[in-house]
């Protein structure tokens, strides 16, 4: 294996997914702490101290204590280069998360021990399952009272339909939480004990020897009974089934107290896949191929508001990136020089000169890129598989409060819609701006960012829920516009109708059979 192949094999690129408040951002912080990337983990609760989670950099995220953008962070740990993508937990930002999941090789699913599998976890899990990527489960908040561990395993299998294999097992929970029985390392890790003293080795039979105080605890006896049950009746351990996404290794711990996180990280990196082949229009692209290629899965404006910059996030799928190299943009056939590039620690970044398959880098964008773009040195201009695009369901009319700030308004709206979380439409009659999104919070974020990043107050008027359908062939009689079927153009000048409801859509199709409509979600 040559040095380039070794570099690629050392990459571990994964996303962290969960329902809001399950502890996803907190566990991200602790992983960065173990990687030496940060010295002091901020928590989303630490408002009075001015400490905020490293991965939550946008102003509205700091105010609310939630993640609404995907942050990318890289650090070295042991012999691995780890790329973590902390995804938005809020369901209104599912689209950003779905696209992010196309850029990783595995996922860590964080589950709140008290709440079990929640709605957003279920949705995100389905995307991982659809892609067949390995899923590792961290059951969080064991230092609080929650559901019984066996009940949580049953939920994984019944609600998500994935078999589980506990790599470790909790000894008690809540105020009685004593630690974890580590099946993988054949040891007990004690809660509230520091340093290496927290580890107690087990004998060949998986039991304590000597006279440790824990041996007198009824919780220890109960744990041994449960371990025996898992050994006899639980799922069999299988590296192949983990790799295929059919079996999830399960870890227990408490991210807030950092307990169990390093044990999880060590085992995770033993099993998490290195960069995997990617589907494209010319077949699978081998990550070990030395011909450079990658795709843009996210665009973010104003990561540094002082500089009004735009960053395009590129997942490298094959070959080696070198700053200053020329690549082809498959969508346009245009040659682009990649002279300005960066790597991330949330909003901290540094110039990157080289990167390989599996890495995620940022490219400074002056308007060249769109989400889903393929960059390659190949001359045959292939395309990586299409990224999912959601059809907006809620619409708002938007205008500038101050007409003297039209220039700022247009710049802001054009830059923010290119990120893909909201879509921009213009009515064909009055040429009014309409914003479309899949969730209400996206409008709040838009309004907040227009004010803070572009110094422009906006007026938002609710248009309501609509069913958006695009016009095939992009030719239509503009007289078909009505209050129940509003005719608009998207930012690519494609015609679309916004229908009041399903009945209005059917009525329109019956009356106008020559107008062929489609929904991008159907793969058009």
Q: Which of 71, 69, 72, 67 is nearest to 83 (CA)?
A: 72
Measured CA to CA, the distance from residue 495 to residue 421 in angstroms comes to 20
Annotated ligand binding at 86? The verdict is yes
Annotated ligand binding at 18? The verdict is yes
Annotated ligand binding at 141? The verdict is yes
359, 295 in Cβ contact below 8 A? no
Spatial CB neighbours of 271, under 8 Å, sequence gap ≥ 6: 134, 136, 239, 242, 243, 249
Annotated ligand binding at 192? The verdict is no
Spatial CB neighbours of 199, under 8 Å, sequence gap ≥ 6: 187, 188, 189, 190
241, 135 in Cβ contact below 8 A? no
DSSP alpha helices (H): ranges in 132-217?
149-155
Annotated ligand binding at 23? The verdict is yes
Angle made by CA atoms 5, 8, 14, in degrees to the nearest 5:
160
Give the tokens for residue 161.
């339909």
Please tell me whether residue 81 adopts helix, strand or coil conformation: strand
Give the tokens for residue 360.
């995620």
The residues with which 398 forms a beta bridge, in sequence order, are: 433, 460
How, if at all, do strands 106-112 and 394-400 pair? unpaired
Annotated ligand binding at 305? The verdict is no
Annotated ligand binding at 19? The verdict is yes
The residues with which 201 forms a beta bridge, in sequence order, are: 187
Annotated ligand binding at 87? The verdict is yes
Describe the crossing of helices 94-101 and 119-131 by its angle, rounded to 10 degrees: 30
Annotated ligand binding at 22? The verdict is yes
Annotated ligand binding at 380? The verdict is no
Annotated ligand binding at 212? The verdict is no
Annotated ligand binding at 89? The verdict is yes
Annotated ligand binding at 143? The verdict is yes
416, 450 in Cβ contact below 8 A? yes
Annotated ligand binding at 330? The verdict is no
Annotated ligand binding at 309? The verdict is no
CB burial class (10 A; 0-12, 13-18, 19+) of residue 523?
exposed
Number of Cβ within a 10 Å radius of residue 372: 19
Measured CA to CA, the distance from residue 296 to residue 100 in angstroms comes to 10
399, 433 in Cβ contact below 8 A? yes
Annotated ligand binding at 206? The verdict is no
Annotated ligand binding at 405? The verdict is no
Q: Which of 407, 418, 520 is nearest to 467 (CA)?
A: 520
Question: Which residues are known binding-site members?
Answer: 18-25, 86-90, 140-143
Question: Which residues are known binding-site members for GTP?
Answer: 18-25, 86-90, 140-143
């Amino acid at each position: 294996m040559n040095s380039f192949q070794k570099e690629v094999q050392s990459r571990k690129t994964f996303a962290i997914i969960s329902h809001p408040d399950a502890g996803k951002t907190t566990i991200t912080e602790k992983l960065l702490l173990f990687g030496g990337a940060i010295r002091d983990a901020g928590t989303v609760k630490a408002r009075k101290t001015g400490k905020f989670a490293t991965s939550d950099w946008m102003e509205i995220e700091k105010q609310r204590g939630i993640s609404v953008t995907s942050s990318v962070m890289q650090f070295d740990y042991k012999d691995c280069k780890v790329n973590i993508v902390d995804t938005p937990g809020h369901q209104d930002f599912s689209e950003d998360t779905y696209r992010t999941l196309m850029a990783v090789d595995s996922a860590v699913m964080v589950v709140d021990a008290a709440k079990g599998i929640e709605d957003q976890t279920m949705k995100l899990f389905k995307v991982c399952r659809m892609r067949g990527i390995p899923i590792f489960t961290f059951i969080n908040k064991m230092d609080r009272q929650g559901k019984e561990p066996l009940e949580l395993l049953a939920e994984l299998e019944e609600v998500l339909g994935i078999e589980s294999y506990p790599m470790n097992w909790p000894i008690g929970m809540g105020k009685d939480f004593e630690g974890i029985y580590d099946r993988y390392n054949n040891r007990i890790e004690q809660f509230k004990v520091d340093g290496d003293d927290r580890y107690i080795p087990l004998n060949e039979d998986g039991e304590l020897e000597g006279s440790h105080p824990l041996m007198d605890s009824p919780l220890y006896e109960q744990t041994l009974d449960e371990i025996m049950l898992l050994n006899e009746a639980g799922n069999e351990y299988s590296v192949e089934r983990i790799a295929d996404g059919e079996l999830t290794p399960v870890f227990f711990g408490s991210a807030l107290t950092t307990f169990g996180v390093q044990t999880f990280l060590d085992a995770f990196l033993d099993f998490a896949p290195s960069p995997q082949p990617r589907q494209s229009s010319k077949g699978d692209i081998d990550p070990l191929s030395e011909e450079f290629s990658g795709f843009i899965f996210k665009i973010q404006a104003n990561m540094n508001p002082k500089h009004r910059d735009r960053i395009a996030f590129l997942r490298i799928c094959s070959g080696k990136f070198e700053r200053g190299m020329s690549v082809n943009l498959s969508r346009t056939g245009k040659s682009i020089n990649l002279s300005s590039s960066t790597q991330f620690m949330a909003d901290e970044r540094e110039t990157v000169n080289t990167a390989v398959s599996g890495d995620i880098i940022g490219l400074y964008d002056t308007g060249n890129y769109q989400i889903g773009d393929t960059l390659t040195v190949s001359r045959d201009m292939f395309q990586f598989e299409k990224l999912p695009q959601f059809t907006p369901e809620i619409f708002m009319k938007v205008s500038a409060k101050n007409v003297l700030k039209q220039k700022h308004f247009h710049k802001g709206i054009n830059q923010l819609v290119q990120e893909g979380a909201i879509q921009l439409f213009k009515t064909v009659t009055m040429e009014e701006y309409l914003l479309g999104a899949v969730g209400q919070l996206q409008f709040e974020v838009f309004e907040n960012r227009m004010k803070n990043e572009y110094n422009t107050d906006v007026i938002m008027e609710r248009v309501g829920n609509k069913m958006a359908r695009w016009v095939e062939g992009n030719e239509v009689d503009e007289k078909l516009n009505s209050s129940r079927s509003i005719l608009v153009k998207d930012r690519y000048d494609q015609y679309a109708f916004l229908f009041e409801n399903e009945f209005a859509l059917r009525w329109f199709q019956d009356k106008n059979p020559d107008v062929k409509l489609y929904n991008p979600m159907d793969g058009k």
